[in-house]
Amino acid sequence: MIIIMTPGIQAASAEVEEVVRQARKHKDIRTDIHEVLGTTRSVTEIYLIGPTATVPSDDFAALPGVERVIRVSDRYKVIGRHRGLVEVMGFEYRGITFSQESFHVFPGLCAVDTREHVDQTFAALARHGIRTSRMGAYKPRTSPYDFQGHGKECLPYVFELAGKHGVQVIAMEVTTARHLDEVRDALRASGDATGVMLQIGTRNAQNFELLKEVGQQRELPVLVKRGMGITLEESLNACEYIASEGNRSIAFCLRGVKSHLGDPHRNLVDFAHVPAVKRLTRMPVCVDPSHSVGGRMEGADGLLDIFHATAQGVIAGANMVLVDFHPLPSKALCDGPQALTLDELPGFLEDVAIAREAYEKRVARVRGVAARAA
């Protein structure tokens, strides 16, 4: 059961206290309070956790400051949209808002290799006013003999250079709780020069202990990548794991699914699921065209398949794009063949802007039709 307070009622208020007091009267029910940043307003939500079937919603609906009470199904209790009855679950981090309405591009290195390449990449982003990037320090590789990432050694210069170029949020994969500590320590040591969105890679979508670890901290937001060989529902449950531990600052990333039916692409591109995830859940949705397509194939029209896949995700309403760039892809230590060059960044951003504008026009059109019919 979710009790939604009227806007303006803070978590620390007499009204919320009263709801919690009422909830305590019921056996085995505990409460979890969250302030949710919606797209048009922010509200405090109180979750009643435990055997709520016998708890009458009327007890709460009549309390002062309560806007409404929603009974939720077992599926996606926290991250679910519950038939549109709850607000979307946006969040703000380092002054940047992430929601189902916002739009940000995260170009960057798949794997950090040299300080110089990080500097060049961030400098290119800064020239375009981009404050969000991706940087891999810990790389889970298929072969143990492949480059595993520089790990914590590179964090000081990555964070320092991000600060220098005004990059505020870096999506960075972590694969164990130790990495999480290393990232937090390095951020602190950098004087919080930048911020990190912890990335849960496709291979860890069912690493439940890791999901719980990132869920138990609220300092850093989380970007969960779809599991490559599991259902969408199973992947969304990865987000529910994180949210149920307390961290609601989560974005979900589509990155293709593993299937030979995806040939000649690295994975079968699944960006038609963007609206599905936005309908089922409250989270902003990201697409990763680089790991989906996996190469620099060019269409008969002259556009790279990565550009096409990006546009497909963006025109369907994606809120973030995670994309591999490298100053010298031939020298990249991981995923060079799918990296775009920094010279291609302006064209990529222009193409993305065309797709985003088309998406906004599509939404305006359908909203106009609905308004005229009302």
Contact set with Mn ion (CB under 5 A): 110, 335
Residue nearest ligand PEP (C-beta atom): 201
Nearer to ligand PEP, 31 or 319 (CB): 319
Q: Greatest CA separation found in the chain?
A: 67
| Distance between CA atoms of residues 306 and 374, nearest Å | 40
Q: Which of 117, 165, 225, 266 binds ligand PEP (CB under 6 A)?
A: 225
Smallest separation, CB 95 to Mn ion (Å):
28
Nearer to ligand PEP, 149 or 317 (CB): 149
User: What binding mask, one character per residue, do residues 156-195 give for ligand PEP by CB under 6 A, x or -?
Assistant: -----------------x----------------------
Please state the φ and ψ torsions of residue 48, each to the nearest 5 degrees: -100, 120
Contact flag: residue 201 with ligand PEP (CB under 6 A): yes
Q: Based on DSSP, count helices (H) and strands (E) in the chain, helices before strands.
A: 11, 14
Contact partner, 351, from Mn ion, ligand PEP, none, Cβ < 5-8 Å per class: none
Kindly report whether the peptide bond that precedes residue 264 is cis, defined as omega within 30 degrees of 0. yes
Smallest separation, CB 355 to ligand PEP (Å):
21
Identify the helix (H) or strand (E) that includes residue 213.
helix 208-215
Please state the φ and ψ torsions of residue 293, each to the nearest 5 degrees: -80, -45
Contact partner, 202, from ligand PEP, Mn ion, none, Cβ < 5-8 Å per class: ligand PEP
| Distance between CA atoms of residues 171 and 141, nearest Å | 18
Nearer to Mn ion, 76 or 325 (CB): 325
Contact partner, 225, from ligand PEP, Mn ion, none, Cβ < 5-8 Å per class: ligand PEP
Contact 104, 262 (CB under 8 A): no
Strands 222-225 and 195-200: parallel
User: What binding mask, one character per residue, do residues 109-148 give for ligand PEP by CB under 6 A, x or -?
Assistant: -x-------------------------x------------
Nearer to ligand PEP, 199 or 247 (CB): 199
| Distance between CA atoms of residues 243 and 267, nearest Å | 28
Smallest separation, CB 306 to Mn ion (Å):
13
Contact 91, 100 (CB under 8 A): no
Alpha helices per DSSP H over 229-288: 232-244, 274-280
Under rule CB under 6 A, how many of the chain's residues touch ligand PEP?
Answer: 9
Q: Which of 81, 282, 291, 326 binds ligand PEP (CB under 6 A)?
A: 291
The structure tokens listed for 87 are: 């607000």
Nearer to ligand PEP, 175 or 312 (CB): 175
Nearer to ligand PEP, 225 or 282 (CB): 225
Contact partner, 240, from Mn ion, ligand PEP, none, Cβ < 5-8 Å per class: none
Smallest separation, CB 122 to ligand PEP (Å):
17
* CB contact set of 178 (below 8 Å; sequence gap of 6+): none
Smallest separation, CB 207 to ligand PEP (Å):
12
Smallest separation, CB 235 to Mn ion (Å):
18
| Distance between CA atoms of residues 283 and 138, nearest Å | 25
* CB contact set of 123 (below 8 Å; sequence gap of 6+): 165
Nearer to Mn ion, 270 or 335 (CB): 335
Nearer to ligand PEP, 104 or 291 (CB): 291
Please state the φ and ψ torsions of residue 238, each to the nearest 5 degrees: -60, -40
Contact 9, 65 (CB under 8 A): yes
Nearer to ligand PEP, 36 or 287 (CB): 287
Q: CA 139, 171, 211, 137 torsion: positive or negative?
A: positive
3-state SS assignment for residue 201: coil
User: What binding mask, one character per residue, do residues 235-274 give for ligand PEP by CB under 6 A, x or -?
Assistant: --------------------x-------------------
> Residues interacting with ligand PEP, by CB under 6 A?
110, 136, 173, 201-202, 225, 255, 288, 291
